Amino acid sequence: MNSLRRAKWPIIWFLLTGCLNIEAVDNRFGQEKGKKKTLVVGKVIYGSDDRQDVDDFPLKQFRILARSTAAQIPRDILKREGTTYHLKAKTLAENGVCYDEKFANQLAPANCSGFLISEDILVTAGHCMESNEDCRHYHWVFDFKKGKNGKVRTTFSKENVYSCEEILVSKHDRQGREDYALIRLDRSVLNRRPLRFRKKGKIEDKSPVVVIGHPSGLPTKIAGNAKVRDNSDPVFFNANLDTFTGNSGSAVFNKKTGLVEGILVRGDTDYVTNQSCMTTNRCKNNECRGEDVTRMTLLKDIDEIIQINKRKSEKTLEGYLSVFSENVPIELPDKGLLTQRFRLKGDKKIRSLKMKIKVFHPMIDDLKISLVHPSGEEIVLNRRKGFPQLVWQREFKEDEENRGVLFPFIGLRSFGEWILKIEDGVYFDKGQLEYFSFSLN
């Protein structure tokens, strides 16, 4: 699996069908210099193909850990209808892989993989998340896997789908050294445990390792029966893991301890071409270049970033079933987004709600004001556009009999982190949030 992850399948297919040959690149394992070969990208199988669907993997511990793995899926193939997202994607075979290959009939939409290390912080490979464009272009989807009914999941509730709010750090040394990224999601992830990871020292030589991710963009796979082959480099270690394009960003675990030892970032050629389709590149367990895994201990800024993020969260308003704004007014960014987060500790079915809000801005119609439920359900509050005004002030009182714009929240659970979002889409004018209160019954 090499580090080229963004190439679109039609381009890959063009290259793999023999339309272009390139000079083979040397690597530290002594690949023959000067040999001509077809350019391919992706994964390698070392020995037997050990990839398994989550529910088929024999060790329960890793089936549980897989819940904290997310697939990076383009927004344009994940369509939202109400509170549900629907995935429309091609199968591996439709993307050019031979029909008799393992998992060829499964959908393969994922670009990269990622995993949780804090309630709203995800780790992936640096080359998967390098720019704000990457941040905007993809969703991060949990539980993209084959179900117990044998079918691949294609519909997801909002509790499974998250967006990139901010790239906290991204490092990608194109010479094959550092390669990792940390991103903050748009909200805290519900009902999934952040993974434990190594913070000092290094994995023992020849230790058994397990990888969880999305090889070739497929639903979540777990692959074991691998071990550390080369443990000498301070930045990464090398292992004979069965990983492919799409596994970039996958968590690599120590099989004995369950700790995340590193991030899968690159490896050997994934596929070779048949006359009409692609087949898996296969090597013996001790052959080929192996797969490189960035050590988690390289991410020395993780703890500091988590603590900074927690300090930000400490500014989150908290209450049992009600909150009100503090330290107001709060200035709105000029062409930017203000998020006022508040956490409700009470867990009950919402029967009625009240909300008051007052916003000052030279051009209210330039603003998008919305409220986000902990599940991800988002409702725009200022749908009606009118004449230019300086103050937008509203009071919402809703229940089963008094149905308004916030009625979709009636019947949901109250517990979790809510977000008031005020987005200014135009430069050169500023405003402020002057007052906000929220209560439930």
Cα dihedral: 310, 143, 294, 270 (round 10):
-160
CATH 2.40.30.260 fits 9-304, yes or no: no
- pLDDT, tens digit (0-9, with 9 covering 90-100), for 203-251: 999 999 999 999 999 999 999 999 999 999 999 999 999 999 899 999 9
Q: Which residue has the higher pLDDT, 128 or 384?
A: 128
With 0.95 as the threshold, say if the pTM is over it.
no
Query: Which helix (DSSP H) or strand (DSSP E) does residue 419 occupy?
Result: strand 416-424
* Beta-strand pair 21-23/36-38: antiparallel
Q: Quick check: 77 and 203 in contact, CB under 8 A?
A: no
CATH 2.60.120.260 in the chain, residues? 315-440
**pLDDT, average across residues 378-406:** 84
Q: What is the mean pLDDT of the chain?
A: 85
CATH 2.40.10.120 in the chain, residues? 9-304
Query: Which helix (DSSP H) or strand (DSSP E) does residue 10 occupy?
Result: helix 9-14
Position 78 scores a pLDDT of 94
Query: Cα-flanking dihedrals φ and ψ of residue 52, to 5°?
Result: -135, 150
- pLDDT, tens digit (0-9, with 9 covering 90-100), for 124-175: 999 999 998 899 999 999 999 999 888 999 999 988 999 998 899 999 987 7
Res. 176: pLDDT tops 80: no
Q: How many CB atoms lie within 10 A of CB 91?
A: 17
Integer Cα distance of 189 and 159 in angstroms: 8
Res. 252: pLDDT tops 60: yes
**pLDDT, average across residues 50-59:** 96
Q: Of 58, 86, 54, 80, which is closest to residue 67 (Cα–Cα)?
A: 54
Position 113 scores a pLDDT of 98
Integer Cα distance of 352 and 401 in angstroms: 10
Question: How is domain 315-440 classified at the CATH fold level?
Answer: Jelly Rolls (2.60.120)
Rounded to the nearest angstrom, the gap between the alpha carbon of residue 366 and the centroid of all alpha carbons in its chain is 30
